[in-house]
A and B are shown apart, each in its own frame.
Chain A
Amino acid sequence: MPLEDSGCIDESAREEVLIPDTEPKRVKAYVLENNEWKDTGTGFCIGKLDKEDEGRATSAYLVVTNEDAPREVLLRSKLEGNIEYQRQEETLIVWKDLNGRDIALSFEESLGCDVLCEFIVEVQRHSETNISLVAVKSNDNGVGSVHEIITGPVSLPSVDPEQNEQTLMESLRILNENVAFEFLKNETIEFILKSDYVGLLISHFHKAEAAKLPKDLFLLGSLVKTLILYNQRDVLEKMTEDEYIMGIVGILEYDTEFPDSKTNHRKCLESNSPSIKEVIPIQNEELKNILKKCFRLQFLKDVVLVRFLDDHNISFILDIILDLQTCIIDFIKVDPFLDTLFALYDERPPEDVDAELIEKRKDGIRLLHQCVQMSKNLDAADKETFYRTLVGKDIFKVLDYAFHKETESSLRILATDTIITIIEYDVLLIPNVQRLKPSSKNSDKEAKDENADQQSKPEGSEISLLLILSAILLTDKSPGMREQVSQALHTLLHPDGCLENDIALENNHPGNVDLISDMNYDMHNGSDNINGFSSSSSHVMESFGNFYSQVAPVLFQPLIKDSKDKNKLIDDDNLLIHLVKLVSLVCTEHNRRISREFILENGIVESLSHLIEPTHNLQLRLTAVRCFKNIMCLDDDYYHRHMISKKLYRPIFKLLEENLDKDNLANSCVQDFCKIVLVHCLSTRTEANGKQQEMLRRKSNFTLLSKHIMEEYGEILQRARQIRVFNELIEFNQEQKATEVDGSDDREDISMDNDVNDSAHLTLDDESKVFKRLHSEVTDVESPFGPTTLHTKKIIEKLNTVEPPSAMLGKLMRE
């Protein structure tokens, strides 16, 4: 290790430090003679300081005395010069002294070796700075060895206040070398922090810039970048302190990669952040510092160093930022900050609302958005408490203001984004929120009461978040706002987790032939807790009920047939696209019985059918077709027969007719529709052949549908027969027709169903009856817990415990 002037070692301290003698440790001493290690005897080794002569400095020795004759010195070796001590494995210290003699000490136990190594480290630190200790360990694979510096002389950059090209070049070389070894790196970092090396660089930078020394400037740039690559938090944080940051970004304006140009980070930083915008004045100086650091680190990461950092550096800086952000959010949580902020939005007499307050309120919305954005990266626990705090302190006061009073579209969008972030984290925060709304005075108490019955809340002027969002979706024309609100509604209305089980259960309409099919639907969805039948889910059922009684009629108003204000013609296709997607969501994800009742009673599928007609734009028409596909895939008897009897699929085939010879999205969309029908039909047939006749019942919906399509729209399909899927559908129907003629067996099998449900009896050739039945069923869906519910429950329980479910089906059917 070459000797360099080490700037950090305090010369005066060298004399004063007294290293105590070490405890004697049992050891065998060897010297190398003629290439053989010669055992010089067993004894006790100590490390000790000795004065050679009066008046001279002390020297350090390793001394071994004979264990049998303590006065006999077996070995006495001075720690001096640039001797490199190697610790080999656990118990061996090996070195060559200045006379060229190879010496080895083999300790009885590794503890002894530790003690002497510690002594060598101390001596290196305090007096003989040029000796070194290196640990040598064999590689994991047994080949070769790993050297790790434990202590030794460290080359460090010059701290001479007068720097020049040569000193900077040398410093750059040293910094680059030192980063490779943990020990050297740590020593260098300590040096940088203690010696104010960063300050030194900055002061030279100002000189070099004034004197126009391009080489110095580029070297400084490289030095700072090298320091950044040390990935050391204290160094980085130091760089972002008030007195350094401008100098650092100034230095980084010079980049050897772009020798002919200079960036203007300083100007950018100055103009962008004259100071932090304080909507609510921050008293705490420490917090202010953290905020500034956080901003500056982001500026370094995103702007100054964006082309320079690799993934590892970035994630390192991100970790620091995250840590600072956690501090900030923690602070905001406990400080009166939020109270002050939210108080801006209190109701005030109009004369108290001046321009300044309005401006503050606008900034407050931005501030809140930024806080919530920042919180996105936090730990789940931190996030959770922060959101609860926001909700507890009534963030909805702010959002309410944003939605009802604020007219600037960009701010409304930020407010929506804020609420989306919170509900996407945990949608269940919202029921509490909604409960909070009515009376903010005793809100805290209510918030704690998790089981508070939502129904008990007085109906009145207070409207839920869903209603607010619905109103925005229907009235706000900004496309960005609509996208966001639509996403918020999707998140709120999507029954994640706890709701799934209820959907599964409620599908099983009593006395209905689709009993089995719905249970199968369950199985496919991997529902694992079908028995969670009533108590826990009643709360969920209620909120569903509330949605359909209070929100859905408003939200879906443009799609509801025979609504009172007929005059209000909705021709806003962009809005309708969002609504149709929401219809698709409630049909497929919500409790089937409730959503279906709403959809069918309000004629929404009829409206969807109209939306496929050519008066609307193609995006909307195809969105409506996709919604039909989703509904069709539910394989729900009611929907199927309703759609068929009302001939609601007609516009789909009109659409095909329009695009018959065109190879475009509309054509593909209808092909996909027919493909779904065909695939279901074919799988019915396969399963029927596989002697699982009961499956025929389930899939027969699709067989019916394909027959219907062929009868009504077959002519159109015939004209597009060159398209494979249409041709196959036609062929399937022809074959089906052929089997139906002599297919009395099928009919007998189906009639078995009567043993299970003595109500329904459907056969393929009895369509008119089917449709009549359908209508009567649709009207009496109000009685969900009919006499057969118990039976249903029993079957579900059985299905839930026995695997595989399909094996049980036959037996269950006969019960």
Chain B
Amino acid sequence: MNVDRIISLLRQAKHISEETVYTLCLRAQELLMNESNVTRVDTPVTICGDIHGQLHDLLTLFDKSGGLEKSRYIFLGDFVDRGFYSLESFLLLLCYKLRYPDRITLIRGNHETRQITKVYGFYDEVMRKYGNSNVWRYCCEVFDYLSLGAIVNGQVFCVHGGLSPDIGTIDEIRSIDRKQEVPHEGAMCDLLWSDPDEVDSWSLSPRGAGFLFGKNEVDQFLARNDVELIARAHQLVMEGYKEMFDGGLVTVWSAPNYCYRCGNIAAVLRIDDNLERQYTIFEAVQPQNGVGNPIIPTKKPQMDYFL
């Protein structure tokens, strides 16, 4: 299997055979199994938020931020659903992982589950592209092996959703057997589903999974773990990123013009060796010939796409 060739096909959104996907997924499993629930990553690193199948914007992301040859990356999950190229986006990231295992870390998002992808597009996309669900099944197996978080230089905690009342220290995350469908409650669920908000303490989340947490919880977590920043994704930010709680938490969003209609810009966060934060923002790809047009005609922006 020639990973470089597959990468080049994927970058053009070309079809990948079912057998190749299977082999890719198996090799990815073997690689991911050796990673910990909270992967250690060194600076400098570029932290990226939700991608949601917007392959062409993902390519822009790599262009604008230096690419894997030059930079290390952490992806905070939600690679699939919503966009038209969920499969290609996810496989491209997997291929990069196989090709540059130390340069890219993939964290699981709340969309990387069987249940959610059946509803929000990935399953349908695979059925459309292959006529059966096998490829979807192979990918879902890989989802189960994805890390739950990452820690940069012991100082920046990365996770898709947020904190959990069941998790006091980062070490406690290590005793989760992560190879499972994301449960409906408990620590693993919260890490992928929770949101920060202006609340005094743990509150019910309107999403029906995870919790809302406020400055108190963030401050406690930072102090207890001797960490200075929580980097997470999971919520659309029109400006691409948003810091909260005196800079103790940041939301990074990397899908520009989300769902091809939200009109937002996207961002990635680069953490350098001095732990300085540098945001790079970018806009959605303009229509081009030959590479599949990633844009749809304008519709009224709808603001209910936070899943």
- Chain B binder among A85-93, A203-211, A618-626, A692-700: A618-626
Chain A binding site: helix, strand, loop or mixed by DSSP?
A: helix
Residues of chain B from 13 to 43 with CB closer than 8 A to chain A in the complex? 18, 22, 29-30, 32-37, 40
Is the pair A668, B296 in contact by a Cβ cutoff of 8 Å? no
B166 CB to nearest chain A CB (Å): 12
A663 at interface, CB cutoff 8 A:
yes
A665–B33 touching, CB < 8 Å: yes
A302 in contact with B128 given A307-B260, A618-B33 (CB within 8 Å): yes
B interface residue count range (under 10 / 10 to 19 / 20 to 34 / 35 or more): 35 or more
Q: In the complex, are the beta carbons of B37 and A668 less than 8 A apart?
A: yes
Of chain A, the residue at the smallest CB distance from B296 is A307
**Is B145 engaged at the interface, CB distance under 8 Å to the other chain?**
yes
Q: CA–CA, A629 to B175, complex, Å?
A: 14
Interface set, chain B 82-135, CB cutoff 8 A to A: 84, 128, 132-134
Q: Is the CB of A664 within 8 A of B133?
A: no
Contact with B along A417-446 (1 / 0, CB 8 A): 100000000000000000000000000000
Q: Which residues of B contact A663 (CB under 8 A)?
A: 36, 40, 174
* B295: contacting residue among A307, A414, A622, CB under 8 A: A307
B147-196 interface with A by 8 A CB criterion = 171-172, 174-179
Contact B35 A664 (CB under 8 A): yes
Tell me the residues in window 670-687 of chain A with beta carbons closer than 8 Å to chain B beta carbons.
Answer: 671-673, 675
A residues within 8 A CB of B299? Answer: 310
A619 to B138: give the CA distance in the assembly, Å: 14
At the interface, yes or no: B287 with Cβ under 8 Å from chain A? yes
Instruction: Choose one: B37, B171, B177, B179; the contact of A724 (CB below 8 Å).
Output: B171
Instruction: Please determine whether B176 and A480 come into contact, CB atoms closer than 8 angstroms.
Output: no
Q: Are B295 and A480 in contact (CB under 8 A)?
A: no
| Chain A min CB distance to B139 (Å) | 12
Docked CA distance A417–B177 (Å) = 30
Mark contacts of A294-312 with chain B using CB atoms, 8 A cut-off: 1 yes-contact digit, 0 otherwise: 0000000010001110110
Given A257-B287, A483-B134, check contact A664 B34 (CB 8 Å).
yes
| Distance between Cα atoms of A716 and B30 in the complex (Å) | 25
Bound-state Cα–Cα, A271 to B74, Å: 43
A479 neighbours in B (Cβ, 8 Å): 22, 134, 138
Please tell me if the beta carbons of B18 and A480 are within 8 angstroms of each other in the complex: yes
Q: Taking CB as reference atom, which chain A residue is nearest B172?
A: A724
How far does the Cβ of B178 sit from chain A's closest Cβ, in whole Å?
Answer: 7
Chain B, 269-307, contact with A by CB distance < 8 Å: what is the 0/1 string?
A: 000000000000000000101000101110110100000
- Residue B137 is within 8 A (CB to CB) of chain A in the complex: yes
Whole-angstrom distance between the alpha carbons of A619 and B128 in the complex? 30
Q: Contact check: which of B30, B145, B296, B300 meets A308 at CB < 8 Å?
A: B296
Contact between B175 and A668, CB atoms less than 8 A apart: yes
Q: Min CB distance, B18 to chain A, in Å?
A: 7
Could you say which residues of chain A place their CB within 8 Å of the CB of B178?
Answer: 665, 668
A residues near B, CB below 8 A?
255, 257-258, 260-261, 302, 306-308, 310-311, 410, 413-414, 417, 479-480, 483-484, 618-619, 622, 626, 629, 662-669, 671-673, 675, 723-725
Q: A260-B289, A618-B30, A626-B177 are in contact. List 18 more A-B contacts (CB 8 A).
A: A255-B297, A257-B297, A302-B128, A306-B84, A307-B295, A310-B302, A417-B132, A480-B134, A483-B134, A483-B138, A619-B29, A629-B177, A664-B33, A665-B37, A668-B37, A668-B176, A668-B177, A673-B177
Q: Which A-B residue pairs are the 8 nearest by beta carbons?
A: A307-B296, A480-B134, A663-B36, A671-B175, A672-B177, A669-B177, A665-B33, A483-B137
Chain A to chain B contacts (Cβ below 8 Å), 29 pairs: A257-B296, A306-B296, A307-B296, A308-B297, A310-B300, A310-B302, A311-B302, A413-B134, A479-B138, A480-B132, A480-B134, A480-B138, A483-B137, A484-B134, A664-B33, A665-B34, A665-B36, A665-B145, A665-B177, A665-B178, A667-B174, A668-B36, A668-B37, A668-B176, A669-B179, A672-B177, A675-B175, A723-B174, A723-B175
